[in-house]
Every structure is written in structure tokens, then in C-alpha cells.
Structure 1
Amino acid sequence: MKSNREKIIQIVMVGVFAAVLAVLSQISIPLPTGIPVTMQTFAVALCGYALGWKRGTLATAVYIALGAVGLPVFAGFSGGVGSLVGLAGGYIWGFLPMAALCGVGLKMNHRVLAIVLGIAGLAACHLLGSIQFAVISGTGPLESFLIASAPYLVKDVISVAAAYGVAMALTFSLKKGGIQLST
């Protein structure tokens, strides 16, 4: 059974990682497609790899909820329901399965499998994003993928792998200090 201290640390870490996701979302380069280049995929993968699938997905859900109620946490300091139903909204929804799969990958205790599961989560994120982009923009599925997903894939795959490395280093350092991020 967890002590109160452990429970408080876990709750605080969910909040901290939701905040990290909000901050890294602001590192954004707008593109003409309406989908900016951001550090969001790195941050989402970091949430899953550092906190595990439950807490990583919860931190991501907290971030989405904060944005949904209008706080400017999404890329370009945007927020509100309009962000979730706009051109890039499918990617935001896709952060949930991505965080979950990165967290499941963490449980595998095998670096390659963890990264492969993170990339599977990334694929789910891009699929949801491309579908919503196609519906909103009126383009076909292939055209939507080529416009709104393909240009970001290399950066996003590198982000997932980098997030795994950062999460492992962070987990190791905190464990030495007596703090366990994931359970």
C-alpha cells in the first residue's frame, strides 16, 4: 500500500508533467498547413515514458482539459473547444493513445520495444490527426496525410526516441533521490 507521501508525489508529478506539456507546446513554428511544428510529441512521449501509462495518460488528459476550458496551453497559446475541433484537433486527441502506448512501452523493460510502442502511439496520433484534418479541410485521406502528417514524421519519431532517453535519465536520477515516477 502506498504511503500518503507517495500518493502526493504521484499527484504532483501528474500536474508537473501536464505543465511541462503546456510549456513545451509553446515551442512552436507555424506552417502554412495550419499544423505547427512543436515539441508536443516529445512532451507527450515524455509523460508516458516517465509516469507510466496511467499517470502519463492522466497528465495528458489534464493538459487537454485545461486547454478545452480555454486556458492557452495548446500550440501558439491557443485554447478552447475550437482548438479541439479545428484542423489540428485530431492530433491533440491523439496524444491520449500516444501517452498510453509510451507508458505501456515503459513496462516492457526493453528499450527497442518501448520505442516501437511509442512509435505505434505516434502512428495513432497521426492517424487521428489526419482524419480530423481531412474532415475539416475537405481533402482526401492521402492528401491530408501528405499535407498534415508526413512532413512531421521524422521529427516526431526522433522526439519519441529522445523522450525515452530523457525519461530514463530523469527516472534514474529521481530514483537515486528516493522518488519513483512510475509504478
Structure 2
Amino acid sequence: MSSRHILSGPNIALIAVFAAFIAASTLVPEVTLAFGVPFSLQTLAVVLAGLCLGPWRGAAAVTLYVVVGAAGLPIYANNAAGLAILAGPTGGFLVGFIPAAWLVGYVAVLVRKRIRLSLPALIIAGLVSIPVVYAVGIPWLSQITGLTLGQATVAMSPFMIGDAIKVVIAASLASIIHRAYPQLMPANPVQKTAVDVEEAATA
């Protein structure tokens, strides 16, 4: 896909909208558990971005969210912001959201290429986010807090059940969105979206 299509108006708008949705997800009341890691709806929003936008646009939306928060806008959990958050115990989970959104989107596109995007298929695609986020977040947490990897994994294990529930909710929302906008996602990871094709034809 050319840079012209990547930077098309519809793509930029979708990335911005989903970045804003991720930011808005932190406004929902949350519970802060061990080592300052909050239980919020961020995971739901991140997974929804990947399921709806595909790999690169989903990851771009999450990246925009992380960068804006690091720049000082209080859009992280608990109205936090700044580079200090990325350097703290939760930083690994924020960074892990980026590859997680990309992989969720990639799997969703591959699933769509082979079968329709049914709710079970979307749930499976969404669940791949969990090991990715924790593969980054747990070692980061271990390094910052001095916990062993085993201790950090045990500390974070209660979140995994909640994240699985949020994946199911995100998949349900994505299923509704895809029924309403069936051309939102490309048919394979390197194919242009219907919007891009239409723009190219009218250029």
C-alpha cells in the first residue's frame, strides 16, 4: 500500500477516532491492584481497534494513544500522563498494546480471508492479544519492581480472566460494526481497503 493511501483522509480519521476511544476507555471507573497496575477497559478498546481496523491501522491508533499520553495529555489510566508512566511498572503493558493490536488485526484479516468474521472467529483473534501484552508487560514489571518473573506472573494472573472477558465484549462489538460496515477491513493483510480502492479510482 502506497504512503498516499496510508495517509488518506478516511484512514487518518479512523485512526484518530479509535485512539480517542482508547483514551475514553480510561474514564470508566477502575480498580488499581498490585504494584499500581489498573484494571481498566483499555484492553477492550485496544482489541476493538485491531478487530475493526486490521493490523497497521489498529496499531497506529494505539501508537497515537501511547504517544499523546507520553507527551503529557492525561489519557492514561487514573488520568496519568508523561514519560514517567512509560518508565514505570505499567509501561510495559502500554507498549505491549501496540504489537497486540497489530497481531489481533492481522489474525482477524487472515480469518476473514478464509471464513467470515463470525463472533467465535473474532473472539479467537482477540484472544491473541493477551499473551502479547503480558509477554511485554510482565518482564517489564519484573525489572522495575525487582520481582522474579514467576512472582510478577502470579501478581498479574487475576487480570488475565478480566482481559478474556473484555476480549469477548470487544469481539461482540466488532461483530456488530462489521455487519454495519462490511468493507471496513481489507480482505488480506496487504490489500487496500474498499475506501482506498475507491479513492484510487477517482484520483
Same fold (TM over 0.5): yes
Which residue of structure 2 lines up, in the alignment, with residue 134 of structure 1?
Answer: 142
| Contact 1:13/1:181 (8 A) holds in 2 | no
Secondary structure of the residue that 2:33 maps to in structure 1?
coil
1:146 aligned onto 2:144: no
Q: How does 1:79-98 map to 2 (within 5 A)?
A: 79-98=81-100
Name the CA distance, whole Å, in 1 between partners of 2:130 and 2:34: 22
Q: How does 1:1-183 map to 2 (within 5 A)?
A: 7-27=8-28, 28-107=30-109, 108-109=111-112, 110=115, 111=118, 112-147=120-155, 149-175=156-182, 180-183=183-186
After TM superposition, which residue ranges in structure 1, 4 or more long, deviate above 6 angstroms? Answer: 1-4
**Structure 1: which 5+ runs fail to align?**
none
CA-based RMSD of the aligned residues comes to 2.2
| Contact 2:100/2:130 (8 A) holds in 1 | yes
- What do residues 37-58 of structure 1 show as CA deviations (whole Å, max 9, x unaligned)? 1001000000000111110000
**Structure 2: which 5+ runs fail to align?**
187-203
Name the CA distance, whole Å, in 2 between partners of 1:26 and 1:95: 18
| Contact 1:29/1:37 (8 A) holds in 2 | yes
TM-score by length of 2: 0.80
Bigger Rg, structure 1 or 2: 2
Name the CA distance, whole Å, in 2 between partners of 1:102 and 1:115: 10
Q: Offset at 1:113?
A: 4.8
Q: Percent identity?
A: 29
Q: Offset at 1:114?
A: 4.2
